[in-house]
Amino acid sequence: MISAASRSRWISFGVLTGLALGVGALLRASGFAVGPALDALARGSLGSWYAIGSGTLVRATPLILTGLAVAVAFRAGVFNIGAEGQFLVGATGGTAIALTMHSAPAVLLIPAILIAGACAGAAWAWIAAVLRARFHVLEVISTIMLNFLAAYLVSYLVRGPMQEPTHIYPQTVSIANAARLPRFGGQTRLHIGFVIAVLACLATWWAIRYTAGGFRLRAVGANPHAARTAGQIDVDRVSTRAFLASGALAGLAGAIEVCGVTYALYENISPGYGYTAIAVALLARLNAAAVIATGILFGALEAGAAAMQRDAGVPSVVVSVVEAGIILALVAAQRTQIRLGATSA
Amino acid sequence: MSAAAAAFVEATVRTATPLALAALGEVVVERAGVMNISLEGVILGGAFGALVGASHGGLFAGYAAALGCGVLLALVFGLFAIAFRADQIITGTAVTLLAVGLTGTLYRALYGTTGAALSIPTSGPRAVPWLSSVPVVGSGFFNQPSVTYTAYVAIPIVWWWMYRTHAGLALRAIGEAPAAAAAAGVRVDRVRWMAITFGGVMGGLAGATLVLAQAGTFAEGMSAGRGFIAIAIVVVGRWHPIGIALAALMFGAASALQFLLQALGLALPYQLFLALPYVLTLAALAGVAGRVQAPAWLARTDDA
């Protein structure tokens, strides 16, 4: 007879081993050379200071913020699968401010962009939050629908009202220099958005652990029924606020991506950050401070995968398989403490 | 005008077919108290399987491979959701992610990164004698690929099975009160495994429909949210096969509006039409709020 804990440890060990073998077999079967692929993966993520700073940490920034967004929502029992859409809308809102206020000084402009991005993300999440609180629409479905809508919204804007004046490329014009986030030195592409992301994690960790609002959030997530009856907590209000905060963080990630990395809005600005974010949050066990570490881990994975695609021709979408495997290993091991909040109707 | 109306009906049924098939599988799964969010991935896997099967062994192999891939992905979901009692929402999301990664990698490996147009055999429309000559609706409903007729047959069968057989009663009991069902001698996990397998078959068939009866090719992520829309259709159809058929048709009709509107030559951005199904899903879910009752034990992991 083995204990439940060691059983789940064996399950996750088995899943991870299977995952490693499976991905190797997948690459072999697909006709890719596994050795050079892994070599490119390692070089592209951790092989040099340049790879770490300009690859891994730049990639980690949106993953930390969207991972934090997912962690906050999941802690409150809100299944926000919509970080992807909130990220896109946040990037759109940030870009809109950057382009309209382009002559403002950086000290005004950058905060305005970041706030606009966070507000846009929160507004997008608000739709799903209202549908959940008022109409008992399962947020898993509504946020995924909103992800598709956000993608079409960006597609429409960068091919319509917000397209660059020559109307050749489906993207906006580049944002002004004053709207761009400062970088660490001349060589690296690492921008202060990374610092913002880390600070956001620490602040959220503190707020969840030490404030009354954080306590309510944890109580609602742990057991909404008990929170309502024993704690006299307004469950709907707490989960709606968590939903909005989650959307704001994902929107902030989008705005930071625009003024730190891309300097313009275009379709596919997110290679699925909002979905990877779920793996980031779960691997951190929904702990806001641990999201920093798991975000960097997945940032390394994605930066390495980009190098793998470039140098070894292995499609970077293979990372989705790895992420899925990690999520499955984790849920099997943890039987995550989160529960389904409002079921649909 | 009647030609436009006939085209509208045809587009309605065409859009509704994969949704109805997938939703019909999902309702059986959900009536067993399991929410399989990975339906999206199952459809995508089925679509890819259809491509591989059909390009190597013809139409029949395409359908067979689609069902195989659908069931395989559904069983991965089942392994975690049933055997390990992991959270169903997260497991389902992960399996969908898995399907996206697997199909994307294998597609590029097998068919190149360009995604060159592949010519695979497709099942064309087959007119049902007499019925297809009914004015306006006849050709829309009865001049379709055979897989559409499979849906017509499957709907009443699932209804009959669910409401008129002992096994169907056991299934519904599991979704409402698994402990009570177990006490009454129902093997809860075994029924759930079978339900999930059926869901995989139907999801795989829905994916095959997209490739073999409609697009004639595969594109990465071509399921385009249909799995999630099908789950919404289950809600709007009130977890009842007939309701689901009607909801799928309503959904198909609303999506087919885009062809009608485009035919009218309105100068609206095309993204608006593409976005229509997703807006509809949200509106429909909000619209049925408070008037539908989900299986009491849906998506709960704390039963046995």
Q: Which domain holds residue A253?
A: 40-316
Please check whether residue B297 lies inside any domain of the structure: no
Verify whether the Cβ–Cβ distance A324 to B101 is below 8 Å: yes
pLDDT of amino acid B117: 52
Question: In total, how many domains does chain A have?
Answer: 1
CATH code (residue A172): 1.10.3470
Please check whether residue B125 lies inside any domain of the structure: no
Verify whether the Cβ–Cβ distance B94 to A331 is below 8 Å: yes
Please check whether residue A189 lies inside any domain of the structure: yes
pLDDT of amino acid A344: 31
CATH code (residue B251): 1.10.3470
Q: Which domain holds residue B247?
A: 2-115+152-287
- Mean pLDDT confidence for B74-98: 91
Percent of chain A with pLDDT over 70: 94
Which residues in chain A have their CB less than 8 angstroms from residue B87's CB? 331, 335-336, 338, 340
Of B108, B274, B293, the CB nearest to A345: B293
- Indicate the pLDDT class of residue A345, thresholds 50, 70 and 90: very low
Q: Does A328 touch chain B (CB under 8 A)?
A: yes
Percent of chain B with pLDDT over 90: 50
Q: Does A34 touch chain B (CB under 8 A)?
A: no
**Hey, which bits of chain B come out as E strands?**
126-127, 143-144
Q: Which residue of B has its CA nearest to A159?
A: B269
Percent of chain A with pLDDT over 90: 53
Which residues in chain B have their CB less than 8 angstroms from residue A324's CB? 94-95, 97-98, 101
- Give tens-digit pLDDT for B119-174: 777 777 877 777 777 777 777 788 888 889 999 999 999 999 999 999 999 999 99
Please check whether residue B279 lies inside any domain of the structure: yes
Please check whether residue B38 lies inside any domain of the structure: yes
Question: In total, how many domains does chain B have?
Answer: 1
pLDDT of amino acid A1: 44
- Indicate the pLDDT class of residue A336, thresholds 50, 70 and 90: very low
- Give tens-digit pLDDT for B248-271: 998 898 888 877 777 777 777 888
Please check whether residue A61 lies inside any domain of the structure: yes
Residue A341: is its pLDDT beyond 50? no
- Residue A183 neighbours by CB under 8 Å, 6+ apart: A189, A190, A191, A192
How far is residue B251's CA from residue A183's CA, in Å, rounded to a whole number?
Answer: 49
- Residue B41 neighbours by CB under 8 Å, 6+ apart: B73, B92, B95, B96, B97, B98, B99, B100, B223, B227
Please check whether residue A17 lies inside any domain of the structure: no
Q: Across chain B, which distance is largest between two alpha carbons, in Å?
A: 62
pLDDT of amino acid A337: 42
- Give tens-digit pLDDT for A55-104: 899 999 999 999 999 999 999 999 999 999 999 999 999 999 999 998 88
How far is residue A242's CA from residue B128's CA, in Å, rounded to a whole number?
Answer: 55
Please check whether residue A14 lies inside any domain of the structure: no
Verify whether the Cβ–Cβ distance A336 to B84 is below 8 Å: no
A-facing residues of B in 36-55 (CB < 8 A) are: 37
Torsion sign, CA atoms A23, A25, A28, A34? positive
Q: Does B110 touch chain A (CB under 8 A)?
A: yes
pLDDT of amino acid B118: 66
Mean residue pLDDT across chain B: 88
Inter-axis angle of helices B226-236 and B39-78, to 10 degrees? 80
Please check whether residue A246 lies inside any domain of the structure: yes
Structure tokens at B3: 């030609």
